[in-house]
Amino acid sequence: MQIIHQLLETSGFYNLTYQNIIMIMIACIFLYLGIKKGYEPYLMIPISFGMLLVNLPLANLMAGPTKTEAGGLLYYLYQGTHLGIYPPLIFLCLGASTDFEPLLANPKTILLGGAAQFGIFAAFFLAASWGMSPQEAASVGIIGGADGPTALFLTSKLAPHLLSAIALAAYSYMALIPIIQPPIIKLLTTQKERRIVMKVGRKVSQREKIIFPIVVTIFVSLLVPSATTLISCLMLGNLVKESGVVPNITTVLQNALMYGITIILGLTVGAKADGALFLSVTTLKITLLGLIAFAVGTASGVLMGKLMCFMSKGKINPMIGAAGVSAVPMAARVVHKEGQKEDPENFLLMHAMGPNVAGVIGSAIAAGILLAFFS
């Protein structure tokens, strides 16, 4: 009996807390959403599984090294997240998968990408008024950019203790874009505006596509040096793609490296969702503030679109402003679908991609500004 009792005491079942049980249930729900519902499965599945693993008692996968024992597997993998290595690498891969032609064909759409970043600063001031430190408020506000890697990068630098909550909020809202954005778009636009058909932009030369990432890297790095890490990786990936001389590297960035880093990043982010830290009032605040940031960012982009529609005498469909958040290409697809609901012959996808990719640049610059002020 003593042996059986000792075996039970050293088992995970005996050491389960109510917090562990709740987090395991949450992890299983997120796994269901990722697998069954297809909500950002490439990140939702590894993040959820990381949550599951870290809440299994005595597994010690996130335990640090001691004098006699090495640390757990996830502890070492997490160092890439903690040191801010994985998010820039994701940006490198993202750059190799991004086409800046819609932005170059219609440069005015950069204003829409900039306007959509207003949600970041609105949430920052609101979070600060709720008693969060400037570093925590900045990390929460960046959720409004709808850019997971940027949110992880900034949070790992300013408020690493909030990393799991912010990561889950950021990626959950990115996955819920088709649900969150349409009501905001319809609330702020008229049927006549949603039916506006935009003209096809000009043809962009290959030379322009090659020069663009170089110029943006130099300009943004000189303007906001703290944004250099993210911007340079994004633009290097795009330069590799547009140069056309290293197709094998482009293929690796778009596929093998992107998915390899994504699963490790997701696992390590989820592994920070320990029940004792995750189940708190602060997490609830982050979830609510993240939603506000995202909603304000979408609304400010649409409102800027309405202003540009008025200034252009009805040549710009204001819905494309909703794509100013940097969730590429989900936000652009939502705008396209909303346009087709009003007019099946209206194709807004490429027009929406302009502010969409501008939003990627805008969120990276916003993160650099916040990092410069509060690091």
**Res. 242 pLDDT band, cuts 50 70 90:** very high
Least reliable range by pLDDT among 159-168, 188-197, 228-237: 159-168
What whole-number percentage of the chain has pLDDT above 70? 97
- Pick from 296, 321, 323, 299: which is nearest to 309 by CA? 321
**Secondary structure, 3-state, the chain:** CHHHHHHHHCCHHHHCCHHHHHHHHHHHHHHHHHHCCCCCHHHHHHHHHHHHHHCCCCCCCCCCCCCCCCCCHHHHHHHHHHCCCHHHHHHHHHHHHCCCHHHHHCHHHHHHHHHCCHHHHHHHHHHHHCCCCHHHHHHHHHHHHCCHHHHHHHHHHHCHHHHHHHHHHHHHHHHCHHHHHHHHHHHHCCHHHHCCCCCCCCCCCHHHHHHHHHHHHHHHHHHCHHHHHHHHHHHHHHHHHHHCCCHHHHHHHHHHHHHHHHHHHHHHHHCCCCHHHHCCHHHHHHHHHHHHHHHHHHHHHHHHHHHHHHHCCCCCCHHHHHHHCCCCCHHHHHHHHHHHHHCCCCCCHHHHHHHHHHHHHHHHHHHHHHHHHHC
The answer to whether 305 touches 112, Cβ cutoff 8 Å, is: yes
What whole-number percentage of the chain has pLDDT above 90? 54
Tell me what the pLDDT averaged over the chain comes to: 89
Tell me the two tokens of residue 25.
Answer: 């249930």
What confidence score (pLDDT) does residue 245 get? 96
What confidence score (pLDDT) does residue 7 get? 65
What confidence score (pLDDT) does residue 67 get? 86
Spans of all domains in the chain: 84-374
What confidence score (pLDDT) does residue 330 get? 84
Q: Is 273 a residue whose pLDDT tops 90?
A: no
Section 148-173 average pLDDT? 85
pLDDT digits 0-9 by tens, 345-368: 889 988 999 999 999 999 999 999
Q: Is 177 a residue whose pLDDT tops 70?
A: yes
What confidence score (pLDDT) does residue 132 get? 92
What confidence score (pLDDT) does residue 228 get? 95
The answer to whether 63 touches 75, Cβ cutoff 8 Å, is: yes
What confidence score (pLDDT) does residue 129 get? 92
What confidence score (pLDDT) does residue 33 get? 86
Backbone torsions φ then ψ of 157, nearest 5 degrees: -85, -40
- Cis omega (within 30 of 0) on the bond before 149? no
**Res. 37 pLDDT band, cuts 50 70 90:** confident
Section 122-150 average pLDDT? 90
- 316-334: b or e for each residue (b if 16 or more CB lie within 10 Å)? bbbbbbbbbbbbbbbbbbb
What confidence score (pLDDT) does residue 100 get? 92
Section 286-293 average pLDDT? 89
**Res. 8 pLDDT band, cuts 50 70 90:** low
Section 281-291 average pLDDT? 87
Range among 247-256, 261-270, 347-356 rated most confident = 247-256
Q: Is 176 a residue whose pLDDT tops 80?
A: no
Q: Is 344 a residue whose pLDDT tops 70?
A: yes
What confidence score (pLDDT) does residue 34 get? 86
Q: Is 44 exposed, middle or buried (0-12, 13-18, 19+ CB in 10 A)?
A: buried
Section 134-142 average pLDDT? 93
Least reliable range by pLDDT among 124-133, 194-203, 301-310: 194-203
Distance between CA atoms of residues 269 and 166, nearest Å: 10
Q: Is 13 a residue whose pLDDT tops 80?
A: no
Distance between CA atoms of residues 204 and 193, nearest Å: 27
Section 315-329 average pLDDT? 89
What confidence score (pLDDT) does residue 9 get? 65
pTM over 0.85: yes
Section 87-92 average pLDDT? 94
What confidence score (pLDDT) does residue 1 get? 65
